[in-house]
Structure 1
């Protein structure tokens, strides 16, 4: 089962399913492993939860042109500013900056880094607002988690969750201890960020480690260049059984889900989960 994250701008579940399956099978093939038939893979999409009645979210436009013209003036929420600085702190600034620590500097660093795929400022702000909405809007959180839960079947063996999707997967797995899912693979996950951990249900911190999500194996794959997966090792926060696996995704689009899916670490973890036991 595949679960997307923040800033997904593909138009529908079918296009996500096709793109992710292609990347996944590329990774499996390149690692000398058996491909997975597309009909064995389920894609979970929750983008339209951001447009559901009863939520206070900003919406989830499919096209970049439809994203409102967000600027720094629209980042007023303390959580949004905390997330902006957290993501930007993982991005080096080769030019140096006399204004380091200010929101405009954090936004500039993210824009110039290209680690997120060279998005304009309004897209970065929109993605941050999506994370804020999930963490603070109860109706939206329920909608997203219900969408995830509806996709789980008795045959679900492995969950691959990207970015915000890793937060969704972790919380929903905790809420369903009856599930018999073998492996959780988190890719580009922000679960190590204090801004996220403080608002998980239940909260997670260095003093209050996170509960185990009820799977046999948890692989956390984090690219060295990925600013969203700023905290590369989740083991200190979520327990010694988390397998933290570093990868190199390259400077361009380091956070991209399809780039993670082509790595040997992800391919090997999925293949292992699908082996008969």
Structure 2
């Protein structure tokens, strides 16, 4: 039974549970070993995989995509057509270098800023729009959200001590933990989390209401790790919003792909947080 449960963010639509588990476990193990901490057995780690919840009804479940970007719809600036999507785009582009005067259109300018910064990796504008639309869908489509949260059933067991959520996965993890106060989770670790964004926190289950105390997700300890360069984790400190007991840990993930889950899992802060939750540190 898994002692550590991990939940992914956007971009896993055409990937699979086994691949996610393998990639995350290698990074997690490397982070522990490099920090001088004992590694955990593969069997102690489980993945909450929900990527295929975002597929269309006609998508082939067993389809293997070798070039995931080729499977992304050919989105353009006009496809960001809701206020929530535009709010997310503006937030993610906040700390990137501004365009020169004369750039065509505000939305196009923001997308170009994110593309040029490479803070989300070497991805084109259509992939950035695709990611934003996945966040939008999770926050606004209740049947989809229910399907995503149902993926936690049977993964979390009485032996589970640590939950790790990356990016949108941190939002999913928060929703899941709040929905299951009977779970005896010791530590929640959020990596590159957008939970501090008003567009996200106002749509949680339960929502964060200004002036009211936020719902604590029923854990002994919450460690929030945010790279200073990460545009998704625009709000680096969650303690002022969700409670003073959150341990906010700033890190540096390098100039490019700062939102990468592998970069986060190999930090000393993540390794020590996981080891402490397991009682081995």
Q: Which residue of 1 aligns with 2:71?
A: 66
Q: TM-score, normalised by structure 1?
A: 0.92
Question: Pairwise mapping of residues 230-269 of structure 1 onto structure 2 (< 5 A)?
Answer: 230-269=234-273
Query: Could you tell me whether the CA contact under 8 Å between 1:185 and 1:266 is conserved in 2?
Result: yes
Shift of 1:102: 1.8
Q: TM-score, normalised by structure 2?
A: 0.91
Q: Which residue of 1 aligns with 2:186?
A: 182
Q: Which residue of 2 aligns with 1:102?
A: 106
For residues 140-179 of structure 1, give each alpha carbon's deviation from its aligned partner in whole angstroms, at most 9, with x where no partner exists: 0000011023311111110010000000000110011000
Which runs of 5 or more residues in structure 2 are unaligned? 58-64
Task: Summarize the Cα distance change of 1:261–1:102 in structure 2 as closer, same or farther, 3 Å threshold.
Answer: same
Question: Pairwise mapping of residues 108-257 of structure 1 onto structure 2 (< 5 A)?
Answer: 108-257=112-261
**Comparing 84-93 with 233-242, which one deviates more in the overlay?**
84-93
Q: Distance in 1 between matches of 2:56 and 2:136?
A: 16
Which runs of 5 or more residues in structure 1 are unaligned? 54-60
Shift of 1:273: 0.8
Q: Which residue of 1 aligns with 2:60?
A: none
Query: Could you tell me whether the CA contact under 8 Å between 1:100 and 1:106 is conserved in 2?
Result: no
- RMSD between aligned alpha carbons? 2.0
For residues 172-198 of structure 1, give each alpha carbon's deviation from its aligned partner in whole angstroms, at most 9, with x where no partner exists: 100110000000000000000011012
Name the SS of the counterpart of 1:149 in structure 2: coil
Consecutive aligned runs of 4 or more in structure 1 exceeding 6 Å deviation: none
Shift of 1:90: 2.6
Q: Distance in 2 between matches of 1:32 and 1:101?
A: 50
